[in-house]
Amino acid sequence: MAIFEHPSFDEHESVHSFYDPETGLKAFVAVHSTHLGPSAGGTRFWRYENSDLALRDVLRLSRGMSYKNAMAGLKLGGGKAVVMKPEGDFDRNALFTKFGEFINSIGGAYYTAEDVGMTTDDMRTIRTKTKFVAGLDEGDAASGDPSPITADGVFRCIKLAANKRGLDLAGATIAVQGLGHVGYTVCRLLHAAGAKLIVTDINQQAANNAADEFGAKIVAPDEIYAQTADVFSPCALGAILNPETVNLLKANIIAGAANNQLSTPEIGLALQDRDILYCPDYVVNAGGIINIAGEIEGNYSPEWVETKLQGIEKTLGQIFDLATETGRTTDAIADEMARARIGR
């Protein structure tokens, strides 16, 4: 499918494809907007069934990064990379060394960092070939793994949404989908606040660990939607809120770390019709990119990060207030605010 006719194309400034037969590297980088500054967003390392799915992901995710960075008040545009995980054995170091060369060839229009499937070790490998990388755990302005800060932002937004609905996290039931670096830390914060947890993950060991550490109830991946819970927190992959799953939901609030949670804009209306308070994902999960923004600018400090995290809470509160005043969906209000900030 041609780029400009692709359903997920949204006036992206540039889309790059990279292939290296020696390492097996197949990757896309999409730069959605540089209106506020160089584009920034993590690299996702995932096994896609085909390149069209990878292209759709990078287009959607890069647009989400434009919105996320704008709503967090960062001097960054939106971009994203996806690397298709090779079949069989491969040399990870060689793969990401070559990927670093490709990132460098873009010339600074895009900064990369960790996303699903990536590690700080991968970032160090990429850094050997380009300076346009963040999420490092060494150097004067190093911010390290951004996932704990992402989890902190998600936790704050869950608490804010619970307050909006008159709920106390102590004793509340939270269903968490996905127990990666972010999701597991979200569980830890919720458990410390006194919440009861229901969890699922395709990694059974991660689920077992949550059960042991937090007393969480484990359910099968396809059963998480129908759990009776106060909050549903999607912290895995995107498009999980669709016509099939929305009808299964029993939660009053949705707030999680996953990107692109709504499969289509119409899902926002479906959630509103069911009186489910949806917290727009790119507002909720901006903690990680806030951490990285300080590193890119070379002036990373925990104090600045804390100020920006408080900004997330303020922005989400404004979205809630506007939704109440106007009767519009929270996702439509957030999209409108974000697009205005990037000049569209």
d(CA 61, CA 66): 9
DSSP H or E stretch at residue 77: strand 77-84
SS3 content of the chain, % helix, strand, coil (to 5): 45, 15, 40
Nearest to 190 by CA among 171, 207, 167: 171
Helices 302-326 and 330-341, packing angle to 10 deg: 120
From residue 56, alpha-carbon distances to 9, 50, 161, 246 in Å are 8, 10, 30, 22
DSSP string, 176-227: EE--SHHHHHHHHHHHHTT-EEEEE-S-HHHHHHHHHHH-PEE--GGGGGGS
Active site residues: 80
DSSP string, 17-55: EEEETTTTEEEEEEEEE-SSSSEE-PEEEE--SSHHHHH
Nearest to 67 by CA among 285, 235, 258: 285
